[in-house]
């Protein structure tokens, strides 16, 4: 029998930048198919093209042997494709029943038949062994239940293909088992499932085959049992093990010894994603935080910077413990933080390069509240030159700059404050190769001058090359600390894949 879904040669560009290049995805009838890849690999784009959220530039989609091109999620839903999004896309104030039944209401005499709808909601939820009051608003229930409601909604549409985008990110173990039970039920009923997850254990537990994407391309398709965890990680991150650079870090290492730690984090817990994280950064040292998506890297550094409130643990910075309650405290103490989302949390798009660059420095740049324009210009000119920021001039609006140059401006925003520690969350995301190298070179140079750098990057090669020490986080815990000999891509991947116990050993096995 022909596959249920065939996506072939899919191309997609956003503003000229290719997001998908001849990507492939084939899902058989009644199989659970894992779709994995790093952030930006193209998984979401692929799914959104399938469900009609985006339009593809090229390629073809066959669903149930017919060529299709949906123009909206509604249409895809009607054709039998239901999607459960990563962020729960439901209406929190409305009742459970409404969230399950809206869009295919039951009616009597033209009016809504509430009793029938409540009954339907109850029976759908019963499949998940959930027995709750369906009249109450969704928001009163824990996230896990909300997630189940989202899944119940999707299945209630009599879907033939169910797409689950990281459905387990907010579920505990027991709930995950229930979900897997439901997925197996679906499979027995002949429904196909596309399962997106970064938790490798789960893939082995429930999936039949796996499609691995990288840089907008499909790089590997295979039955999941034929691939080891290490194979999966390697394939996602795009480095053949034979090619792994065994660079020596002697230079970095000798630098580090005997230095005072600038930042010491012990047993940090914050929210759902950070359970018990410890790490430290010395002055003049580049430290990497590695881990798969959802391991708690970003959440940890946000707590350190005072952007989110930690629940417990100690954060000692520049000799003072737990003295940071807000970003302004962190900045005053000498910390800088480049967020992973430049657009949402970094640049002020309508402001000029100059204004963006001096945003944090402004209070120091002014006398009686009036900005000292001459000094501001001097500083901006200096940093534009020093970092090689390519713009038509300091007055150009930052939104018109390329990603790499925007990132340099944000780096300069902190560098001009002479910080003791710079936290960089995905500093090279969405930046072209040339600019990447420049930014990494710059970071190294700064560390050489005594700046402590804490760097999060999903590009393993990059962290391994730059950092003298890497802390690997896994599911909210510090799983490994790698230095010296142990610091290579292989060991980091192993720690990401297996966690604490097997860190170095498994890599050799």
Partner 1 sequence: MNTTSLKLFQGIGRYGVLLALLALIVFGWLRYENFLGAFNVLSVLRYNSMFALVALGMCFVIITGGIDLSVGSTAALGSVVAALLSPYGVLPGLLGGLAAGLAIGACNALIITRLAILPFIATLATMLAASGCALLLAGNQSVSVSYESGFTELGQGDFLGFPIPAWIALFAYLLGSLILNLTAFGRTVLAIGGNEDAARLMGLPANQVKALVYLASGGLAGLAGVILAAQFGAGQPIEGVGWELFAIAAVVVGGTLLTGGVGSVGSTLAGVLLLGLIFNILNFENGLGWISLSAYWQSVIRGAFLLLVVAIQARLSMRTEEAA
Partner 2 sequence: MGMKAPRGPLMAETATTLPPTQRAPRVDVRTMLTRHGAWIALALLILVNFALTPNFATWQTLNVNLTQVCTIVIVGVGMTLVIATGGIDLSVGALMAIAGALAPLIFLGKLFPLPHPAIGIALAFVIPVVVAGALGWFNGWLVTRLRIQPIIATLVLFIAGRGIAQVFTNGNLQVFNLPSFQFIGLGRVFGVPFQAILMIFIVALAAWMLRRTVFGRQILAIGGNERAARLAGIPVASVKQRVYLISGLLSGIAGLIVIARNSAADANLVGLGMELDAIAAVAVGGTLLTGGRATVIGTLVGALIIQLVRYTLLANGVPDAAALAAKAVIIVLAVWLQRQSHR
Site residues for partner 2 per CB under 8 A: 13, 15-18, 305, 307, 327-328, 330-332, 337, 339, 344-351, 355, 359-360, 362-363, 365-366, 369-371, 373, 390-392, 396, 400-405, 413, 432, 435
| CA distance to 37, 236, 360, 373, per residue, from 40 (Å) | 8, 11, 30, 40
The window from 73-81, 297-305, 317-325, 435-443 that contacts partner 1 (CB under 8 A) reads 73-81
| Spatial separation of the C-alpha atoms in residues 310 and 299, rounded to whole Å | 9
Question: Using CA atoms in the order 106, 111, 113, 118, what is the torsion angle rounded to 10 degrees?
Answer: 80
Half-sphere CA count of 475, side-chain side, radius 13 A: 16
User: What is the three-class DSSP state of 476?
Assistant: coil
**Which of the listed partners (partner 2, partner 1, none) does 369 bind, with a CB threshold of 5 to 8 Å by partner kind?**
partner 2
**Which residue, among 374, 361, 463, has the nearest Cα to 412 in the 3D structure?**
361
CA angle 445, 447, 450 (to 5 degrees): 120
The structure tokens 């759908």 sit at: 124
How many Cβ atoms are within 10 Å of 13's Cβ, its own excluded? 13
Among 115, 142, 190, 448, binds partner 1 (CB under 8 A): 142
Q: What's the closest the beta carbon of residue 351 comes to partner 2, in angstroms?
A: 6
Residue 360: which of partner 1, partner 2, none does it interact with, CB under 5 to 8 A by kind?
partner 2
Q: Which is nearer to partner 2, 289 or 331 (CB)?
A: 331
Separation of alpha carbons 262 and 285, rounded Å: 9
Task: Please give the residues from 85 up to 114 whose contact with partner 1 meets the rule CB under 8 A.
Answer: 85, 89-94, 98, 102-103, 105, 107, 110-112, 114
Instruction: Pick from 72, 123, 314, 392 the residue near partner 1 by CB under 8 A.
Output: 72
Q: How far is the CB of 239 from partner 2 (least distance, A)?
A: 25
Judged by beta carbon distances under 5 to 8 A according to partner kind, the member of partner 1, partner 2, none in contact with residue 67 is none
Q: Does residue 73 belong to the site contacting partner 1 (CB under 8 A)?
A: yes
Neighbouring-strand partners of residue 111: 108
Specify the 3-state DSSP secondary structure of 477: strand
Return the number of the residue (165 or 425) whose C-beta is nearest partner 2.
Answer: 425
Nearest to 33 by CA among 196, 180, 225, 152: 196
CB of 306 to partner 1, least distance (A): 17
Nearer to partner 1, 17 or 140 (CB): 140
Residue number, 431 or 486, with CB nearest to partner 2: 431
Which backbone phi and psi does 474 adopt, to 5 degrees?
A: -145, 120
Contacts with partner 1 by CB under 8 A: the residue count is 27
Residue 246 contact partner, candidates partner 1, partner 2, none, CB within 5 to 8 A by sort of partner:
none
Structure tokens given for 410: 């944000």
Answer for which of 63, 70, 128, 141 binds partner 1 (CB under 8 A) is 141
User: Do 125 and 134 touch, CB atoms closer than 8 A?
Assistant: yes
Among 38, 44, 45, 77, binds partner 1 (CB under 8 A): 77
Residue 344 token pair: 């949402």
Query: What is the nearest approach in angstroms of partner 2 to the Cβ of residue 394?
Result: 13
> Which DSSP string do the residues of 325-389 spell out, in sequence order?
SSHHHHHHHTEEEE-S-HHHHT--TTSBHHHHHTTTTGGGGEETTEE-HHHHHHHHHHHHHHTT-
Residue 416, both tokens: 């001009």
Cα 6 from Cα 64, distance rounded (Å): 9
Q: Which does 90 bind (CB under 5 to 8 A by kind): partner 1, partner 2, none?
A: partner 1
**Stretch near partner 1 under the rule CB under 8 A, chosen from 13-21, 138-146, 222-230, 457-465:** 138-146
Using the minimum distance from each CB to partner 2, give the nearer residue, 97 or 406: 406
Binding mask 143-162 for partner 1 (x = CB under 8 A): ----------x---------
Closest distance to partner 1 from the beta carbon of 393 (Å): 33
Q: Which residues bind partner 1 (CB under 8 A)?
A: 72-74, 77, 83, 85, 89-94, 98, 102-103, 105, 107, 110-112, 114, 137, 139-142, 153
């Amino acid at each position: 029998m022909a596959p249920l879904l065939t996506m072939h040669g899919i191309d997609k560009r956003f503003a000229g930048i290719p997001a998908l290049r001849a990507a492939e995805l084939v899902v058989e009838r009644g199989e659970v198919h894992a779709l994995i890849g790093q952030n930006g690999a193209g998984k979401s784009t692929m799914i959104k093209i399938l469900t009609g959220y985006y339009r593809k530039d090229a390629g073809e989609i066959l669903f149930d042997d017919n060529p299709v091109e949906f123009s909206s999620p509604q249409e895809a839903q009607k054709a039998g494709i239901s999607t459960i999004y990563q962020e729960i896309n439901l209406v929190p104030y409305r009742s459970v029943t409404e969230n399950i039944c809206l869009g295919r209401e039951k009616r009597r005499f033209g009016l809504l038949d509430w009793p029938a709808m409540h009954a339907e909601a109850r029976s759908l939820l019963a499949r998940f062994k959930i027995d709750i009051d369906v009249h109450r608003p969704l928001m009163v229930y824990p996230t896990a239940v909300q997630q189940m409601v989202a899944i119940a909604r999707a299945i209630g549409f009599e879907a033939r293909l169910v797409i689950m985008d990281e459905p387990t990110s907010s579920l505990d173990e027991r709930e995950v088992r229930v979900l897997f039970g439901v997925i197996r039920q679906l499979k027995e009923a002949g429904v196909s499932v596309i399962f997106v997850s970064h938790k490798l254990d789960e893939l082995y537990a429930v999936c039949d085959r796996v499609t691995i994407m990288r840089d907008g391309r499909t790089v590997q398709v295979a039955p999941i049992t034929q691939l080891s965890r290490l194979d999966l990680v390697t394939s996602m991150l795009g480095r053949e093990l034979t090619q792994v650079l065994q660079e020596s870090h002697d230079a970095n290492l000798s630098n580090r010894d005997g230095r005072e730690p600038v930042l010491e984090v012990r047993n940090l817990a914050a929210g759902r994603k950070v359970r018990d994280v410890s790490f430290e950064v010395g002055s003049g040292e580049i430290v990497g935080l590695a881990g798969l998506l959802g391991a708690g890297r970003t959440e940890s550094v946000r707590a350190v910077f005072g952007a989110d409130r930690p629940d417990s643990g100690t954060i000692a910075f520049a000799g003072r413990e737990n003295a940071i309650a807000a970003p302004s405290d962190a900045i005053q103490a000498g910390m800088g933080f480049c967020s992973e989302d430049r657009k949402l949390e970094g640049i002020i798009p309508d402001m000029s390069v100059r204004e963006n660059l001096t945003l944090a420095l402004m209070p120091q740049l002014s006398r009686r509240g009036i900005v000292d324009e001459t000094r501001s210009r001097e500083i901006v000119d200096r940093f534009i030159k020093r970092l090689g920021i390519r713009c038509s001039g300091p007055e150009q609006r930052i939104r018109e700059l390329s990603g790499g140059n925007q990132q340099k401006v944000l780096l300069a925003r902190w560098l001009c404050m002479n910080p003791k520690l710079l936290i960089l969350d995905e500093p090279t995301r969405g930046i072209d190769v040339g600019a990447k190298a420049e930014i990494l070179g710059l970071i190294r140079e700064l560390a050489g001058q005594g700046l402590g750098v804490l760097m999060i990057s999903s590009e393993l090669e990059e962290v391994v090359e730059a950092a003298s020490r890497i802390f690997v986080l896994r599911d909210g815990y510090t799983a490994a600390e790698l230095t010296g000999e142990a610091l290579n891509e292989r060991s980091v991947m192993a720690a990401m894949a297996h966690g604490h116990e097997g860190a170095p050993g498994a890599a050799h096995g």
